[in-house]
Amino acid sequence: DAEITQSPRHKITETGRQVTLACHQTWNHNNMFWYRQDLGHGLRLIHYSYGVHDTNKGEVSDGYSVSRSNTEDLPLTLESAASSQTSVYFCASSESLDRGYNEQFFGPGTRLTVL
Amino acid sequence: GESVGLHLPTLSVQEGDNSIINCAYSNSASDYFIWYKQESGKGPQFIIDIRSNMDKRQGQRVTVLLNKTVKHLSLQIAATQPGDSAVYFCAESRYNQGGKLIFGQGTELSVKP
């Protein structure tokens, strides 16, 4: 069955280190999204991509970057981790029948702790 | 778990009762409204959506009502079961925004056996 996976599921790192969170989907979806989830804020969009080599900034993109070299993967990189980036990170993907809304499918999440 | 468990509105219902979860939205230009369910330790899961030109949509045991006059969205769950215990999020999307979702803060539903 097609799915979306994230790795690692849990990560502890230190302030200033570079961290990369992986997201892999097997639906062949063109659209992929990264969100963070914090107490009191729901899910907030970090970056998103509509296809290979396309990336866009979301609501809370500072300190994060993404790259899209193939359809299946959208890794999220924290260039220099900060304690404020301690959060749970979710990746999602959707079809791109058009540029409108299509159902997003979410991965299981990565819990990141920055000490 | 991964879900937001504190500082959320909470709703506690008895098993078998109907549940109503409410959501207020601010953008009258939104084209779609979506409800997601998030169980502890898991990612959000799609429940049901509704276009902005509709007032009501029904699924299996769930109904979404949209009141554009007061910018209010509700999710009704019939015969609530223990497996319905989760955090429920509403989200909105605009057609010309490339499928991006804007999420509300969520409501935690607790079902008492």
Say if residues B18 and B79 touch (Cβ distance below 8 Å). yes
The predicted structure's pLDDT at residue B75: 96
CB nearest to B106's CB, from A42, A99, A109? A42
Mean pLDDT score, A38-55: 90
Mutate to test the interface with B, among A4, A43, A59, A113 (most CBs of B within 10 A): A43
- Indicate yes or no: CB of B6 within 8 angstroms of CB of A39: yes
- pLDDT higher than threshold 70 for residue A31: yes
Which residue is listed with tokens 């990560």?
A11
Q: What are A69-111's pLDDT values in tens digits?
A: 999 999 999 999 999 999 999 999 998 766 566 789 999 999 9
Nearest chain B residue to A34, by CA: B100
The predicted structure's pLDDT at residue A98: 61
- pLDDT higher than threshold 90 for residue B2: no
Mean pLDDT score, B36-45: 93
Supply the mean pLDDT for chain B.
88
- 3-class state of residue B12 by DSSP: strand
Q: Residue A40's pLDDT band (boundaries 50, 70, 90)?
A: low
Q: Does B39 touch chain A (CB under 8 A)?
A: no
Mutate to test the interface with A, among B50, B57, B95, B101 (most CBs of A within 10 A): B101
The predicted structure's pLDDT at residue B4: 28
Kindly report the nearest CA distance between residue B75 and chain A, in angstroms. 17
Pinpoint the alpha helices (H) of A9-109: none
The predicted structure's pLDDT at residue B1: 31
Q: What are B71-104's pLDDT values in tens digits?
A: 999 999 999 999 999 999 999 988 777 778 889 8
The predicted structure's pLDDT at residue B30: 86
Strand partners, A41: none
The predicted structure's pLDDT at residue B3: 31
Q: Residue A42's pLDDT band (boundaries 50, 70, 90)?
A: confident
Supply the mean pLDDT for chain A.
93
> DSSP readout, B78-104?
SS--GGG-EEEEEEEE-GGGTT--EE-
CB nearest to A102's CB, from B45, B99, B103? B99
Q: Residue B6's pLDDT band (boundaries 50, 70, 90)?
A: very low
| Token code pair at residue B36 | 């997601």
Give the A-side interface with B, CB within 8 Å: 31, 33, 35, 37-45, 48, 50, 58, 88, 90, 92, 94, 96, 99-109, 111
User: Prior bond to A8 cis, omega within 30?
Assistant: yes
